[in-house]
A and B are shown apart, each in its own frame.
Chain A
Amino acid sequence: MTDLTINTDLARTILTGFIRTEITRAGFKRAVLGLSGGIDSTLSCFLTAEALGAENVLVVRMPYRSSSPDSLSDAQMVIDRLGVQALTIPITDMVDPLLAQIPAENQVRRGNVMARMRMIILYDQSEAFKGLVVGTGNKTEILLGYTTLYGDAACALNPLGDLYKTQVRQLARAMGVPESIINKPPSADLWAGQTDEGELGFTYAEVDRLLYLLVDQRYSPDDCIQAGFEPRFVQEAVRRIRKYHYKRLMPPIAKLSNRTIGYDFLYLRDWGT
């Protein structure tokens, strides 16, 4: 019941087709990605390079001074493997003067500033390279709200958003992502020693099984407890899903007229293409 195994050939076909189609019908043929050297951005990069051709992909490494050196070298391994175009733009000289003007001891604030600085760079490169920004967020982090709004969450399209972290690992392995990248502890790398699982308080393997039941299989929280999950763990996941829903939606517009964007002005983005 909680087997999250996917057919990776089929996932690869659908996701590369999605990237190619949605970028070309928007009038582009190129893509820009932030490459941290972690598994999500690496898999997104592999899929995008396969979809568009490596020459049409620009990856940007954006280290902060406290970023792990492994992140840079892992990203280099991906760049060398795929032959994508690459830039390195350190964010330290952008972030530190800003942080100096605000008393931001709070790590979340500091982390958000870094994530949003990277967004600014990616969207600037999007214009310069004439490519759309391809996102790297997976279903687990989107559901848990473990993402910075208008930061790492910002993108033109997201190929990984319906894959749990466990499935990201499976697809990454099938596509030949280096084992060292697959096996290292997932981290936003916003400060030294930060890991996703340390910060969230549970492992992806555990929470993915729970989210799969809650979301995909429509289990109630009680059904999940019946299925053997700790009540506090279930409550925490449910709380996060609800609390961070705002990060998954466009901002609501206050309705006044008879036709309001988002409510009764309804078109797909692919309208006319």
Chain B
Amino acid sequence: MNKLTLALAQINTHLGDVQSNLEKHLQLAQEAHASGADLLVFPELSLTGYVLQDLASTVSNRPTADNPVFKPLLDASRQLDLVVGFVDEDSRSRFYIASAYLSGGEVLHVHHKVYLPTYGLFDEGRFFAWGDSIQAFDTRFGRLGILICEDFWHASPPYLLWLDGADLMLFASASPGRGLNQAPELESARWVEHINKAYASLFTVYVAHANRVGYEDGLNFWGGSTVYDPNGELLAKGPYHMETLTLCEIDLQQIHRTRTRLPLLRDERTALVMRELQRILSDGRSTQKGIR
């Protein structure tokens, strides 16, 4: 399959009301399917809302066929593939910010957020466990990868997904808007757009970002979901601060064309990276360099 229609569900959510958020997911899945979408991506914590604090443990779900929240979503995934955001509770009651990839009634992959921002206005590390794995996975559209918000503020997770074979990176966010100045977009929006464009360019991959909208108390979520192609060109962008379903057809053959011109993946010297990382990390002065 060379062509794929992506849909980005730039939605608002009800804080802690999983049932009403689930209904919105199912409605949008129908709508996206009717519009010809093959894959629908929801933002971070799309089933629960973002600033959960003490709600975290009460809104968690396990992504299994017998879970009452996941069952209808898995049924919907027979029509089109879905990425949904939720709180995952593992068998030992650790709570993770998670996104699940659902396809054909199966859970193909679950990503646990590996970087939990706990600074400034963020307090995720207080309420959630840190994910410990960054892995690409195979789908009917090829090999993909999922990252959640702060994961891709760090350069290493997209880099690892790239090396693990992901040609389409799906980023999910609940990004609070901040940094109002003269510019027509917030600093937080500009930053995320810069790095999404940079990852698409550096790794010659498709990068699709679904960000939510709405408010939670005084926080606004800015939307502006985007799709960048392997040349770093913007293919689609949702509006700021408005609920939207953004559809974008992507041509996977573009990866072939771009990498023929620009063989960055072919020339990436992973063994060199490994050697140097080992040297840097084993060096007695690593603490002094702030490495952990």
Q: With A267-B53, A272-B17 as known contacts, state yes or no: A10 contacts B220, CB within 8 Å.
A: no
Q: Does B51 contact A (CB under 8 A)?
A: yes
Contact A267 B55 (CB under 8 A): yes
B15: A residues at CB distance < 8 A = 268, 270-273
Contact A273 B53 (CB under 8 A): no
Contact B215 A21 (CB under 8 A): yes
Give the residue of B177, B182, B217, B218 whose beta carbon is less than 8 angstroms from that of A6.
B182
Contact A10 B17 (CB under 8 A): no
Q: Does B291 contact A (CB under 8 A)?
A: no
The CA-CA distance from A14 to B188 in the complex, in Å, is 14
Q: Does A22 contact B (CB under 8 A)?
A: yes
Contact A7 B16 (CB under 8 A): no
12 contacts between A and B (CB under 8 A): A3-B182, A5-B182, A6-B180, A7-B182, A10-B184, A14-B180, A18-B220, A21-B215, A265-B54, A267-B55, A268-B53, A269-B217
Contact B180 A10 (CB under 8 A): yes
Contact A13 B241 (CB under 8 A): yes
Residue on B with the closest CB to A13? B241
Q: Does B150 contact A (CB under 8 A)?
A: no
Q: Does B273 contact A (CB under 8 A)?
A: no
Contact B16 A5 (CB under 8 A): no
Mostly helix, strand, loop or mixed at chain B's interface? Answer: loop
The CA-CA distance from A121 to B50 in the complex, in Å, is 36
Least CB distance from A23 to B in Å reads 11
A10: B residues at CB distance < 8 A = 180, 184-186, 240
Q: With A271-B15, A272-B14 as known contacts, state yes or no: A21 contacts B183, CB within 8 Å.
A: no
Contact B241 A14 (CB under 8 A): yes
Mostly helix, strand, loop or mixed at chain A's interface? Answer: loop
Contact A22 B17 (CB under 8 A): no
Least CB distance from A46 to B in Å reads 18
Give the residue of A7, A265, A273 whose beta carbon is less than 8 angstroms from that of B17.
A273
Q: How would residues 14 to 52 of chain A score, 1 for a CB under 8 Å from any chain B CB and 0 otherwise? A: 100110011000000000000000000000000000000
Residue on A with the closest CB to B123? A266
The CA-CA distance from A265 to B55 in the complex, in Å, is 10
Contact A22 B215 (CB under 8 A): yes
Give the residue of A6, A264, A268, A272 whose beta carbon is less than 8 angstroms from that of B181.
A6
Chain A residues in the interface with B (C-beta under 8 A): 3, 5-7, 9-11, 13-14, 17-18, 21-22, 162, 264-273
Contact A7 B184 (CB under 8 A): yes
Contact A18 B14 (CB under 8 A): no
Report the interface size for chain B: residues with CB under 8 A from the other chain. Answer: 24
Contact A7 B220 (CB under 8 A): no
Contacting residues of chain B (175-205) with chain A, CB-CB under 8 angstroms: 177, 180-186
B220: A residues at CB distance < 8 A = 14, 17-18
Contact A7 B183 (CB under 8 A): yes
A270: B residues at CB distance < 8 A = 15, 215-217
The CA-CA distance from A267 to B50 in the complex, in Å, is 11
Least CB distance from B49 to A in Å reads 8
Q: Does B214 contact A (CB under 8 A)?
A: yes
Q: With A17-B220, A268-B15, A272-B17 as known contacts, state yes or no: A7 contacts B215, CB within 8 Å.
A: no
Contacting residues of chain B (1-54) with chain A, CB-CB under 8 angstroms: 14-17, 51, 53-54
Q: With A14-B241, A265-B54 as known contacts, state yes or no: A271 contacts B181, CB within 8 Å.
A: no
User: Taking each of A18, A21, A162, A268, which has the highest tally of chain B beta carbons within 10 Å of its own beta carbon?
Assistant: A268
Give the residue of B186, B214, B240 whose beta carbon is less than 8 angstroms from that of A21.
B214
Contact B180 A7 (CB under 8 A): yes
The CA-CA distance from A273 to B217 in the complex, in Å, is 10
Contact A14 B182 (CB under 8 A): no
Contact B53 A11 (CB under 8 A): no
B214: A residues at CB distance < 8 A = 21
B177: A residues at CB distance < 8 A = 14
A6: B residues at CB distance < 8 A = 180-182
Residue on A with the closest CB to B12? A21
Least CB distance from A251 to B in Å reads 19
The CA-CA distance from A272 to B13 in the complex, in Å, is 10
The CA-CA distance from A273 to B215 in the complex, in Å, is 11
The CA-CA distance from A273 to B12 in the complex, in Å, is 11
Least CB distance from A38 to B in Å reads 23
The CA-CA distance from A6 to B186 in the complex, in Å, is 10
The CA-CA distance from A5 to B181 in the complex, in Å, is 6
The CA-CA distance from A270 to B54 in the complex, in Å, is 13
The CA-CA distance from A50 to B177 in the complex, in Å, is 21
User: Taking each of B15, B183, B214, which has the highest tally of chain A beta carbons within 10 Å of its own beta carbon?
Assistant: B15
Contact A271 B16 (CB under 8 A): yes
Residue on A with the closest CB to B189? A10
Q: With A267-B54, A273-B15 as known contacts, state yes or no: A9 contacts B217, CB within 8 Å.
A: no
The CA-CA distance from A267 to B53 in the complex, in Å, is 6
B14: A residues at CB distance < 8 A = 272-273
The CA-CA distance from A266 to B14 in the complex, in Å, is 17
Residue on A with the closest CB to B56? A266
Least CB distance from A196 to B in Å reads 24
Contacting residues of chain B (46-98) with chain A, CB-CB under 8 angstroms: 51, 53-55
Contact A268 B180 (CB under 8 A): no
**3 closest A-B pairs by CB:** A266-B53, A21-B215, A268-B217
